[in-house]
Amino acid sequence: MTTATVSPVETPRSLKSRILGAPSAGPLLVLIGFCLIFALSNPRFLATHNLSIILQQTVIIGVLAIGQTLVILTAGIDLAVGAICVLGTIVAGKLVNLGYDPVLSMGFAILLCTAAGLAAGGLVSGLRLPPFIVTLGILGILTAALRLISEGGAFPVRDPFLAWTGNTMKLGGFVLTYGVLIMFALYAIVWYLLNQTKWGRHVYAIGNNTEAARLVGIPVRRHLLSVYLLAGLIYGIAAWLALGRIPNADPNAMQSANLDSITAVVIGGTSLFGGRGGLIGTLIGALIVGVLRNGLTLAGIDPLWQDLVTGILVIIAVALDQMSRRKS
Amino acid sequence: MSAETTPLQAIGTKPHIVLEARNVVKTYGHVTALDGVDFELRAGEILAVVGDNGAGKSTLIKALTGALHPTSGEILLDGVPIHFKGPLDARHAGIETVYQDLAVAPALDIASNLFLGRELRAPGLLGSLFRRLDKKRMREEARRAMNELKFRLPAIDNPVESLSGGQRQGVAVARAALFARKLVIMDEPTAALGVRETGQVLELIRSIRDRGLPVVLISHNMPNVFDIADRIHIMRLGRRAAVVSPKTHTMNDVVAIMTGAATA
């Protein structure tokens, strides 16, 4: 490539178009915009302990949104996000309260969540059922089953290991929970998988054009299975983080987790039609939701405004996605 | 069949036959899709396969690429009998197929599309343990391949959806050319394209041939066939009616053979 570095048939892409064209550029501007507004209206917003709180409040939806991103990238949707996570908290909590070893209990709970993801993936890839219906069914089954197991009510889970993710450490002026660190680690790992490995390439390819993926020899069904499996594993880890935040196993918890995680993914610029977007956007999307909630509360504004603004953002994000798809 | 005259034969050397089918039959119940068809692709040529709807073009191609199993007959690659269990077997044997619908992932960039399903991994531990892709090498290889094929494209890291239809199909064709070791089969590659875009793709098919890969081109479009084919294989009623040269036959001759109004 010494003589042909400047290839005559190529017009290189400018740095400006690369930055503006990056899928997470829009969401990042929105996030910065909200931060500026809240910081100007209330100086307490930028206080380090407030920023720590925002991160802690973002952890669960932020982690669930990782799995949701994977599923949506394959042109699917996961409505069982919250239910699978609650499965993890109930099972781990029950086992620990029965006197089992907490590490094994949590491990088993995470394994069960992974199995639930695998079941969803099996139905989607094996029987070729629409992900929407499969995960809606799993949501119903799990919700009912978990209420039966826990006899309808929430119960406290007091165990230092299960609560460990809620412990804090100081990083400069920041007080971070281990849960926050786990969230960032998960984002880093899955980002690497999506962007630097063949596995991730194929996730995008399947979401983009399943038929083309099949024609070039990608084992589409097996790949879908692996996506749902990984998503289930991530929801299981989210269950541990949830117990660290609130030491309580509640079968009625996380009812809004499905929509919240989808919101984070969509605001982050990932297309509901699959194959476009990515994890950086999702992290920004989850932070936007967290910042909005925190900033409006600090400003003393009715929290209902939060839902209203989030709703507007979702519609704008989907509209922009549609418009860019129509253009191409 | 006696009418075929190619330059190679004129010199008197027997051309190397890359892909051959002998007396291939395919029946579905009472329906005979292939009725003892012969087929012969020679080294370095563009062989067009033409025929009316239902003449058996697609069935023949599916039999050649392993997408279906012939009821009887023989298929030979470089003189060796082969039994493909599926299209993947054909790919492993060095046969690449390009389809009519644009088989690309639009949001992925050109280099990613070229290497889709055959990604290169980074050398050393990064690749073997961490499974890291070698994006730089894939981009360079993609650039080199496109230059070699003289195919005009914007930057290799642009998403495929920013390309025109002809350029997109060009990516699919280039992918086949990049990985085919024996031959490339193209099933109506320009059916979805406009006139100018078709020209781009035909040019690309020519450069593939000029690099030494033989090409089987299935097409409905007679002007295109006469534009680039070295020989024309005419299907009729599940058999090979004739193989003719565009130099010795006119489009009307070919259509007449296709419809049974004439024999070669």
Instruction: Write out pLDDT tens, residues A129-173.
Output: 999 999 999 999 999 999 998 887 899 998 999 999 999 988 877
* Residue B42 clears pLDDT 90, i.e. is over it: yes
Residue to substitute from B91, B116, B118, B150, interface A, most A β-carbons within 10 A: B116
Q: Are A119 and A134 in contact (CB under 8 A)?
A: no
Tokens of B263: 């024999």
Spatial distance between the Cα atoms of B113 and A316, rounded to a whole number of angstroms? 30
Q: Out of A35-44, B137-146, B147-156, B169-178, which region has the weakest mean confidence (pLDDT)?
A: B147-156
Contact B191, B117 (CB under 8 A): no
**Residue A250: pLDDT over 60:** yes
Identify the pLDDT of residue A287: 96
The dihedral through the CA atoms of B128, B132, B138, B139 has a sign that is negative
Say whether A254 sits in a helix, a strand or coil. coil
Q: Which residues of B are less than 8 Å from A328 in CB distance?
A: 106, 161-162
Whether pLDDT at B5 is above 50? no
Lowest mean pLDDT among A30-44, A116-130, A152-166, B99-113: B99-113
Q: In which band, very low, low, confident or very high, does the pLDDT at B100 lie, cut at 50, 70 and 90? A: confident
Restricting to A residues 254-283, those with a Cβ less than 8 Å away from any Cβ of B are 275-276
Structure token pair of residue A118: 């695998």
Phi, psi torsion values for B164, nearest 5 degrees: -75, 165
Q: Taking Cα atoms as reference points, which of A91, A78, A89, A112 lies closest to residue A227?
A: A78
B239-244 and A248-249 beta bridge pairing: unpaired
Q: How far apart are the first and last CA of chain B?
A: 6
Alpha-carbon span A117 to A71, nearest angstrom: 10
Segment A13-24, tens digit of pLDDT: 566 665 555 667
Report, as an integer, the average pLDDT of A114-138: 96
Average pLDDT over residues B7-15: 57
Which residue did the predictor score with more confidence, A173 or A36? A36
**Closest Cα in chain A, distance from residue B176 (Å):** 10
Q: What is the ipTM of this complex?
A: 0.82
Neighbours of B21 (CB within 10 A): 21
Which residues in chain B have Cβ-Cβ distances shorter than 8 Å to A201? 108, 112, 116, 119, 133
What is the predicted pLDDT for the residue at B1? 43
**Least confident interval from A14-28, A82-96, B101-115:** A14-28
By Cβ distance, the residue of A197, A198, A209 closest to B105 is A209
Query: What percent of chain B lies above the pLDDT cut of 70?
Result: 95
Is residue A14 less than 8 Å (CB to CB) from chain B? no
Distance (Å, rounded) from C-alpha B188 to C-alpha A144?
Answer: 53
Q: What are residue B23's phi and psi, to 5 degrees?
A: 50, 45
Residue B152, pLDDT score: 77
B255/chain A closest Cα distance in angstroms: 32
pLDDT value at residue A3: 36
**B95 contacts B65 by C-beta, under 8 angstroms:** yes
Six token digits for residue A306: 């939060």
Rounded distance, CA B59 to CA B63, Å? 6
Angstrom distance (rounded) from CA A191 to CA A144: 34
The pTM of this model reads: 0.87
Burial class (CB in 10 A: 0-12, 13-18, 19+), B65: buried
Q: Please answer whether residues A253 and A154 qualify as being in contact, where contact means their C-beta atoms are separated by less than 8 angstroms.
A: yes
State the pLDDT confidence band at B40, using cuts at 50, 70 and 90. Answer: very high
Q: How far apart are CA A307 and CA A286, in angstroms?
A: 14
User: How far, in Å, CA of A279 to CA of A263, rounded?
Assistant: 13
CA of A274 vs chain B CAs: smallest distance (Å): 10
Between A172 and A79, where is the model more confident? A79
